[in-house]
Structure 1
Amino acid sequence: MPPTTEQAQRGVPATDIEKVIGGIFQDVLATDDPVDLTLSFFRMGGTSILAAKVVARVSARYGVQLSLRTIFEFPTAGELAQVVESQVRSDVSGLSDAEVTALTTREK
């Protein structure tokens, strides 16, 4: 079920990619609190070293090319998810829907 406008405004994950990246932020920041997709990784206590961990984990999880600069330009989980989703879409343009689903929902 898609999130309501209120959920989106509160930063609740709407897509699987947002959920995964929010979880990666949560793990790297060592917090049990859910990540608000609209808050900057750095405002939540992230450092450049932790940002490098996020970039490495997201890149490995989705098979995309992200640079450290990416998280500085798109510091929220929601923004980073949009970047990843865009790259995944361009990388999978010739695949079937089932193949795309398998790539975006595979286990860690």
Structure 2
Amino acid sequence: MLLRRGKIPSGPQRATFAFAGSVKILSNSSGREADVANITVCYFLGSRSHQVKLRGLRIELGEIENTLLNLSSVREAAVLVRQISGHAQLVAYVALHEPALSNGDLQERLRKHLPDYMIPTVWVSLPSMPLSNNGKIDRKALPEPKDQGQDPVHMEPVSDTQKLLANLWEQLFKIERVGLNDNFFSLGGHSLLAVQTLYLLEQHTGVQIQVREFFEAPTLRMLASKIDERLLEKQPS
């Protein structure tokens, strides 16, 4: 393969190298040439097979995986797009050094480095990743996520705000009932649906909630509580 001289890019484009003897070469067949300290090296800008288009946005699954692997608590990681409740969702598979770490903790740590649309909404924790014969993660062997959306013990909404939210979510996801502990994103929600939901909530309540706050309070109970807090703040003292 003919390579031309160039410079390694800066910014989000990262170079990944494999070593063979004293020469750095790529394990990937596509690459460009760069000259560093008189050593000819190859680099690639990411595998095209891991680029997906989700809700009109191009997402590099490898970038999400690399960001996860840079977290000290994560030992192994893989990210796929799967259909859940009729919606395409980013699903993160992780093997952790800290098994007690919650999905919310991982999402919050990712949010410091990635935009909201690149944050997985469904998480599967595994003791270790399934490997293929060549030692790489066998993505086809990764399990389908279990139904994480609705809480097995249904708790009926009580307050007016809770009932309003439940009605909106039932219409949005076309399900018969929503309980207090049901999670918007595990039901099939994503950032665009969140924006739509928050717009409708503002029309009904006059309260503005940011998408980031929605990610921090994804259950019906938590979001209703946040809305009620804002309503109290708006009341004259």
Q: Same fold (TM over 0.5)?
A: yes
User: Which structure 1 residue ranges, 5 or more long, are not aligned?
Assistant: 1-8, 95-108
Q: Distance in 2 between matches of 1:11 and 1:69?
A: 25
Aligned to 1:65: 208
1:33 aligns with 2:176: yes
Q: What is the one-letter code of the residue matched to 1:48?
A: S
Aligned to 1:21: 165
Q: Does structure 1 retain, via aligned residues, the 8 Å contact 2:169–2:178? A: yes
> CA, structure 1 residues 19+87, in 2 after alignment: closer, same or farther (shift >3 Å)?
same
Identity %: 26
User: Which structure 2 residue ranges, 5 or more long, are not aligned?
Assistant: 1-152
Q: Of Structure 1 and Structure 2, which has the larger fraction of its residues in helix?
A: 1
Higher Rg of the two aligned structures: 2
Q: Distance in 1 between matches of 2:213 and 2:176?
A: 24
Q: Deviations over 1:37-87 (max 9, x none)?
A: 201101111121111111111122111121111210100111110000010
Query: Number of residues paired by the alignment?
Result: 85
Q: What is the one-letter code of the residue matched to 2:213?
A: T
Aligned to 1:12: 156
The TM-score with structure 2 as length reference comes to 0.34
Higher mean displacement: 31-40 or 12-21: 31-40
Q: Does structure 2 retain, via aligned residues, the 8 Å contact 1:26–1:33? A: yes
Q: What is the one-letter code of the residue matched to 1:13?
A: P
Q: What is the one-letter code of the residue matched to 1:74?
A: A
1:43 aligns with 2:186: yes
Higher mean displacement: 55-64 or 12-21: 55-64
Q: Distance in 2 between matches of 1:93 and 1:72?
A: 29
SS in structure 2 at match of 1:10: coil
Q: Does structure 2 retain, via aligned residues, the 8 Å contact 1:17–1:85? A: yes
SS in structure 2 at match of 1:20: helix
- Higher-RCO chain (CA-CA 8 Å, sequence separation at least 6): 1
Q: Does structure 1 retain, via aligned residues, the 8 Å contact 2:198–2:208? A: no
Aligned to 1:53: 196
Q: Does structure 2 retain, via aligned residues, the 8 Å contact 1:28–1:53? A: no
Aligned to 1:90: 233
Deviation for aligned residue 1:32: 3.4
